[in-house]
Copies of this chain bind each other. A is one copy, B any other.
Amino acid sequence: MSLIARIDGRFTMRQGALEDPVVAYETLGTLNTSASNAVLIFTGLSPSAHVASNEINQASGWWEDMVGPDKPIDTDRYFVVCVNSLGSCFGSTGPASNDPATGKPYRLSFPVLTLEDIACAGGRVLDHLGIERLHTVIGASMGGMTALAFALLHPERTAALISISSAARSLPFSIALRSLQREMIRRDPAWQDGNYQIPGDGPAMGMRLARKLGMITYRSAQEWETRFGRERTTDRAPEVGPFGIDFEIESYLDAHAQKFVGSFDANCYLYLSRAMDLFDASDHGGSLKQAFKRLRLERAMVIGVETDFLFPIHQQEELALALQQNIQDVRFARLDSMQGHDSFLVDMDRFRPAIASFF
């Protein structure tokens, strides 16, 4: 249901190129005559461009409480563009798309993907829409890294940056977790070295395991202690036996993992996951300090959550401090949400005022 921006001709990536790729996007609000009220949203690893309900797609979006009329990102004032990341599987060209050269899915012949490529593809959508310079580029998690990559690659194209629960680089702890998630998928015999049937179930078992590990890292121990404690599940139906589901927390993870499987292409997941590992903003200058000299931001905001152990608060601080070296107006919001990395999706009581204060 998203709109499609076609990038005609050769799209050069960091390590390869694509012919005539497309980027799916959705928009909310109206671009003003000076085209100065545009806000670009990059997403985390798994969401589509459907950030919030709009005229074309009235279903609730993944950030419904944040984007819309009278909401913190107010679509009565701003023209909001959200893109589906290049390499993803919700309308943008990715490993599950057909390679025009062969008529078959790219699968592992898709070039190595970087967040810089996703950022550039987002820039092409702005070209398509006639937007030269953004009011703000914003992203959470992987989207925050992509937004930063955008500001580094196209310093003149945005006046402001909001980075949420993100980081200037991936560190070994999160690399280890993502590497293990990818291995779970690759070790599933149904992965078939990437050659599973598309469309089809693909490596459902590996995806389910990877999603469970994801869920464990996206939330916080404190939240689960409060929500689940040592409660036993009353619904043992999904699986019995000596090592089946017993505790409520096991049942919760299983239900969430089941929902994910089938909704996301496994190869796309592998490429996007790896792209996060590869990201290091200091690649744009030898050091973070040197890299950030490229930035031409008027304002920036870094939001982090105390209980986030995937993108820990010290990484948010590092990013905010590095930005302050070059930008006058940098705000750093340290939120004490309970829900860990995923707080930006669920803890609206803390996140809505933080975002609203910026706009």
Interface residues, chain A, with chain B CB atoms under 8 Å away: 108, 112, 169-173, 175-177, 179-180, 182-184, 186-187, 189, 205, 209, 212-213, 216, 220-221, 224-225, 227-230, 242-243, 246-250, 253, 270, 274, 277, 280, 309, 312
User: When the two chains form their complex, are residues A249 and B175 in contact, meaning their CB atoms are under 8 A apart?
Assistant: yes
User: When the two chains form their complex, are residues A175 and B205 in contact, meaning their CB atoms are under 8 A apart?
Assistant: no
User: When the two chains form their complex, are residues B189 and A189 in contact, meaning their CB atoms are under 8 A apart?
Assistant: yes
- Most B CB within 10 A of own CB, among A170, A177, A220: A177
Chain B residues near A243 (CB-CB < 8 A) = 182, 186, 270, 274
What's the minimum C-beta distance from A3 to chain B, rounded to whole angstroms?
30
User: When the two chains form their complex, are residues A171 and B242 in contact, meaning their CB atoms are under 8 A apart?
Assistant: no
Chain B residues near A187 (CB-CB < 8 A) = 205, 209
Name the contact of A176 in the complex, choosing from B172, B184, B229, B253 (C-beta under 8 A).
Answer: B253
Name the contact of A216 in the complex, choosing from B176, B225, B227 (C-beta under 8 A).
Answer: B176
Chain B residues near A209 (CB-CB < 8 A) = 180, 183-184, 187, 209
Chain B residues near A225 (CB-CB < 8 A) = 171-173
In the assembled complex, the Cα of A357 lies from the Cα of B352 at a distance in Å of 51
Chain B residues near A309 (CB-CB < 8 A) = 221, 309
Chief secondary structure at chain A's binding surface = helix
Given contacts A179-B250, A182-B243, A247-B179, is CB(A172)–CB(B224) below 8 Å? Answer: yes
User: When the two chains form their complex, are residues B280 and A230 in contact, meaning their CB atoms are under 8 A apart?
Assistant: yes
* Sampled A-B contacts (7; CB under 8 Å): A112-B242, A169-B230, A172-B229, A173-B216, A175-B249, A183-B209, A189-B189
**A173 nearest in chain B by CB position:** B221
What's the minimum C-beta distance from A304 to chain B, rounded to whole angstroms?
15
**A174 nearest in chain B by CB position:** B221
User: When the two chains form their complex, are residues A221 and B312 in contact, meaning their CB atoms are under 8 A apart?
Assistant: yes
Chain B residues near A227 (CB-CB < 8 A) = 172
**A110 nearest in chain B by CB position:** B242
